[in-house]
A and B are shown apart, each in its own frame.
Chain A
Amino acid sequence: MHYIINAQPMDVIADPRTSLLDMLRDNLGLMGTKKGCNQGACGACTVLVDGERINACLALAVQYEGREITTVEGLSGGSDALHPLQSAFIEHDGFQCGYCTPGQLCSAIGMLGKIERGVPSAVTADLSAETMALDHDELRERMSGNLCRCGAYNGIAEAITKVHAKVPA
């Protein structure tokens, strides 16, 4: 099967039962994407597929053949510098143990893309609004699929807010 993973073309031979998560971890050794529940409840395995966030544990690898997949290892675009959100997570202490962090990062980047595209959430009051504001509740609602048991939610929200504010509209 052929994929573009973190901008690199890759060919993988895997059991058809293999999830995208297990393919990344076990077949490709990309251990940055984490397994926390293997049933779509914790978000630790969140990756970006063509820019959209998905739970890699609920996806069969075969479903995503030919697609562009970005994992935490690819967020900085291959450079040594960190993605601004990665730096903001460090600055605002948006993690403790670091296990849910790759999922939080990928999820936040996917989420900011949705905000930019004006995709509403369950708490959006005005569904016809042209532009979407990332207020306190929008952010927390949209990030609630990513659990952090250490409880770094305040730092995560601050980091995302800071980076969102810096992105030119």
Chain B
Amino acid sequence: MTSIQDAAQSLLKTAIGLVPARWLPGGSPDPLMQKHGLIGAPVSRLDGALKVRGKARFAAEVPMQGLTYAALLHSTVARGRIVALDISAAEAAPGVVFVMTYRNAPRMASPALMNTKPKAAGTSNLPVMQDAEIHWNGEPVAVLLADTQEQADHAVTLIRVTYETAPAITDFDAAKGSTRVPANILGEPPSIERGNAEATLVQAAFQVDCTYATPAHNHNAIELHAATLAWEGDKLILHDATQMVNNVAWTLSQIFGIKEEQVHVRSPYVGGGFGGKSLWNHQILAAAASRVSGRPVRIMLPREGVFRSVGGRTMTEQRVALGARSDGKLTALIHTGTAAMTPHNECPEQFSFPARHLYAAENIMIAQRVADMNIVANTFMRAPGESIGTFALECAMDELAEAMQIDPIELRRRNEPAKDPTSGNEFSSRHLTEAYGRGAEQFGWEKRSATPGARRDGEWLIGMGMATATYPYYRMPGGAARIRLTADGRATVSTAAHEMGMGTATVQTQHIAERLGLAMDQVVFEHGDTALPPGSMAGGSSQTASIAAAIIAAHDAFKAALLKLVGNDSPLAGLKPDAVEARDGGLCSSEEPDKHETYVSILRRAGREELVAEASAPPPLEAQEFSMHSYGAQFCEVRVSEITGEVRVSRFLGSFDCGRILNAKTAASQFRGGIIMGLGLALMEETHRDPRTGRIMNPSLAEYHVPVHMDVPKIDVIWTDIPDPHSPLGAHGIGEIGITGVGAAVANAVYNATGKRIRKLPISLDKLL
């Protein structure tokens, strides 16, 4: 059952009055969403000093006594079985402690696939080193422990494996010939038909019908996937680099047949995740090898090892066809296509999601298929689906605007829907046309020539392009928070949340201080540890809203508990929790703010050292009731060399509509970070696979190119800052929307500069010559 189905079940519970529904129609919006104090302020990161000193401890940096260092050996064939295995030379090598293969690995259950159970973290449900079978080129076939990393790295090269190969599907072009319809796409139907889009298309006054291709990508967080772990009896202590501590703990407990409480996961700092830091083979194998050898293990995958054993974004082929009347109104919108997947995972890359919600087309056809391949399981990577789905959809909109001789923004304005075009739901908060307008004005869109190739500076052709950005609002179920107030009037708020650089800890500290009426230095936010109340995963741009909802629930419980302590002598005597609010280190009556008492005074009079309140967030029903999305408009100026085909991005502006922005400084960085990864997607990023063997050919940062300083101009970001009345704090997550639309904005700018439509990413110079 998916998280979304969980949420649907919760809807039933609300209907029978078991849980509150604060953000539904008729609910009272969060008062903090309009308050301008700490919320929204450009506060510098609270972990900044630690990080610039190099003192933030990442997973591979936690000291442990008697540590061994792990190295993995990866399969060199895509499919088949191991027929001979010689580990004798490796075992005899200096410093080697233990060599594990399928022959001596402990029996382990297969990982539960993410989204099939509430706390599942598995990225594939294949058994891990349980038999001689090989499922992808790069699958780990041995794990070796030694006293030093040098010894491990050398000894693992001495293992000899002989394979018997079996036929494998390793070429996407061939795999596309045999596709299937996935059961669902993140809980949504794989196909939708409104009216008859194909028939309308052929009769439309204006038509475009194009195919777009996007390659595989790897997250390439600069921190390598790593874990430091040890068993204490039957309890596993795991310092992990992960964006889902509770899910990793639960899934490992199922794999090893122990209780969830027997797996303690810590991950206070993560050196970038982008969707890639979930549960992969390396944590499972390191834990297994540690259990059998009785020694603590540090595993830090080399960069090549990350490419071999951690999946990324999959490749797709997409068709977008648009039909329009002469007034620019869309009569037909078709977005179909195929994503590569494996038989062992459930990640069909939701590229059709943007087309379900963006434009008011009279007839809509959406259909996604998957092509199974024998490759490492693909997974979520920053705006899975939307990043590359907007490339196809927003390029096609540009092509239609060109065909109609109409401004691309004007075409989009004419198709702005009043309600969600496929679900029919009201939008909770949609100010996309405002984002277009403000972005266009600040970027100087009016200077764009509608004729391609009209602007030039010597050998450089200059063009401008734009595209719509969009990403759903998600709030994950299952999160809780605890507020602990001490006699000195300070508060610690705890939840097993994740800080991978999004600014989570800083933003939630701002939130808590404002919520409790305290100064920021009177508040501590604890996170990244399964010993704390459970948090939801840091994924789907959901964490900010998910944590905020848990803190609001805990704060309701906190106020109720505090009012029980006040007694008859307090100015707050007799007030109900919903009649008080926080102010100046205490509570006051909402009606008569002068009726106030500090936390210190309340606790002292009650003779209490502390007060603890904990509560779980209500289920995310708001997303059932409304069409909830973030929006934006991406504007790009490129310079393309007529001689070499080189593309340089000279200017970029993102104009966003993502509810209330909680920290102007860290939010700007989040948006820019997404945009920069989008520049990589547009211009350089591609995981190359040998179609004959399925082996990744560029498993390094030297050959998988990501944007560097020189590729990135000054990026302007602006936002509407209009709160969504139906989300906690009026906020939406913003980790992913930044990358959406960027590929198309760049491609459209390249067209405007050169007159060449590049429909296959990346837009490398060979495609422009």
Q: Interface of A with B (CB < 8 Å)?
A: 15, 17-18, 22, 25-26, 29-42, 44, 71-73, 76, 82, 86-87, 89-91, 93, 95-102, 105, 137, 139-141, 143-157
Question: Do A101 and B701 form a contact, CB below 8 Å, given A95-B501, A146-B709, A154-B715?
Answer: no
Contact A154 B223 (CB under 8 A): no
Q: Chain B 216-227, CB within 8 Å of chain A: the 1/0 string? A: 000111111000
Question: Which chain B positions have C-beta within 8 A of A73?
Answer: 53-55
Question: Do A151 and B672 form a contact, CB below 8 Å, given A18-B150, A86-B52, A93-B45?
Answer: yes
Question: Do A95 and B52 form a contact, CB below 8 Å, given A31-B61, A151-B676?
Answer: yes
B503 interface residue per 8 A CB criterion = yes
3 smallest beta-carbon distances between A and B, as pairs: A32-B54, A99-B271, A96-B501
CA A151 to CA B649, docked complex, whole Å: 15
**A-contacting 9-mer, from B321-329, B336-344, B663-671:** B663-671
CA A101 to CA B55, docked complex, whole Å: 11
Contact B700 A41 (CB under 8 A): yes
Contact B150 A101 (CB under 8 A): no
Give chain B nearest CB distance to A119 CB in angstroms: 18
B201 interface residue per 8 A CB criterion = no
Contact A101 B52 (CB under 8 A): yes
Give chain A nearest CB distance to B654 CB in angstroms: 12
Query: Most chain-A Cβ atoms within 10 A of its Cβ — which of B221, B700, B710?
Result: B710
Question: Do A153 and B702 form a contact, CB below 8 Å, given A95-B501, A99-B223?
Answer: no
Give chain A nearest CB distance to B737 CB in angstroms: 14
B300 interface residue per 8 A CB criterion = yes
Question: Which chain B positions have C-beta within 8 A of A89?
Answer: 48, 52
CA A144 to CA B701, docked complex, whole Å: 13
Give chain A nearest CB distance to B48 CB in angstroms: 4
Instruction: Specify which of B154, B501, B700, B712 is in contact with A98 (CB 8 Å cutoff).
Output: B501
Instruction: Specify which of A42, A76, A139 is in contact with B709 (CB 8 Å cutoff).
Output: A139
Contact B669 A72 (CB under 8 A): no
Question: Which chain A positions have C-beta within 8 A of B665?
Answer: 93
Instruction: Specify which of B55, B302, B674, B715 is in contact with A38 (CB 8 Å cutoff).
Output: B302
Question: Which chain B positions have C-beta within 8 A of A40?
Answer: 702
Instruction: Specify which of B45, B54, B714 is in contact with A71 (CB 8 Å cutoff).
Output: B54
Given A149-B272, A151-B673, 8 more A-B residue pairs with CB atoms under 8 Å apart are A35-B60, A41-B303, A76-B53, A82-B49, A97-B223, A97-B501, A98-B47, A149-B222
* Residue on B nearest A29 in the bound complex, by CB: B63
Query: Most chain-B Cβ atoms within 10 A of its Cβ — which of A34, A35, A98?
Result: A98
Contact A22 B150 (CB under 8 A): yes
Question: Which chain B positions have C-beta within 8 A of A38?
Answer: 302-303
CA A149 to CA B48, docked complex, whole Å: 17
Give chain B nearest CB distance to A141 CB in angstroms: 6
* Residue on B nearest A71 in the bound complex, by CB: B54
Instruction: Specify which of A15, A35, A146 is in contact with B300 (CB 8 Å cutoff).
Output: A35
Contact B220 A149 (CB under 8 A): yes
Question: Do A149 and B675 form a contact, CB below 8 Å, given A22-B150, A95-B51?
Answer: no
Contact B52 A90 (CB under 8 A): yes
Instruction: Specify which of B149, B500, B668 is in contact with A93 (CB 8 Å cutoff).
Output: B668
CA A35 to CA B666, docked complex, whole Å: 25
B84 interface residue per 8 A CB criterion = no
CA A87 to CA B51, docked complex, whole Å: 11
CB interface residues, B 42-71, toward A, < 8 Å: 44-45, 47-58, 60-61, 63
* Residue on A nearest B704 in the bound complex, by CB: A41
Q: Chain B 642-682, CB within 8 Å of chain A: the 1/0 string? A: 00000000000000000000000110111011111100000
Contact B224 A91 (CB under 8 A): no
CA A156 to CA B675, docked complex, whole Å: 16
CA A72 to CA B56, docked complex, whole Å: 12
B706 interface residue per 8 A CB criterion = yes
Q: Interface of B with A (CB < 8 Å)?
A: 44-45, 47-58, 60-61, 63, 148-151, 154, 219-224, 269-272, 274, 300, 302-303, 500-503, 665-666, 668-670, 672-677, 700-702, 706-710, 712, 714-715
Instruction: Specify which of A32, A97, A99, A152 is in contact with B53 (CB 8 Å cutoff).
Output: A32
CA A95 to CA B272, docked complex, whole Å: 11
Question: Do A150 and B272 form a contact, CB below 8 Å, given A31-B61, A96-B503, A96-B669?
Answer: yes
22 A–B contacts from the bound complex (CB under 8 Å): A25-B61, A33-B54, A34-B271, A37-B700, A38-B302, A40-B702, A41-B702, A72-B52, A86-B53, A91-B44, A95-B52, A97-B271, A97-B272, A99-B222, A99-B272, A139-B709, A145-B708, A147-B708, A150-B669, A151-B675, A153-B672, A153-B707
Instruction: Specify which of B60, B219, B500, B676 is in contact with A97 (CB 8 Å cutoff).
Output: B500
CA A43 to CA B223, docked complex, whole Å: 12
CA A29 to CA B271, docked complex, whole Å: 18
CA A71 to CA B710, docked complex, whole Å: 25
Question: Which chain B positions have C-beta within 8 A of A41?
Answer: 303, 700-702
Instruction: Specify which of B53, B673, B702 is in contact with A72 (CB 8 Å cutoff).
Output: B53
Question: Which chain B positions have C-beta within 8 A of A145?
Answer: 708
Query: Most chain-B Cβ atoms within 10 A of its Cβ — which of A82, A93, A143, A146?
Result: A93
CA A147 to CA B675, docked complex, whole Å: 15
Contact B709 A39 (CB under 8 A): no
Question: Which chain A positions have C-beta within 8 A of B270?
Answer: 97
Question: Do A36 and B673 form a contact, CB below 8 Å, given A91-B44, A105-B52?
Answer: no
Question: Which chain B positions have C-beta within 8 A of A76?
Answer: 53
* Residue on A nearest B503 in the bound complex, by CB: A96
CA A140 to CA B714, docked complex, whole Å: 11
Contact B222 A44 (CB under 8 A): yes
Give chain B nearest CB distance to A125 CB in angstroms: 15
* Residue on B nearest A31 in the bound complex, by CB: B61
CA A151 to CA B220, docked complex, whole Å: 12
Contact A93 B221 (CB under 8 A): no
CA A86 to CA B53, docked complex, whole Å: 8
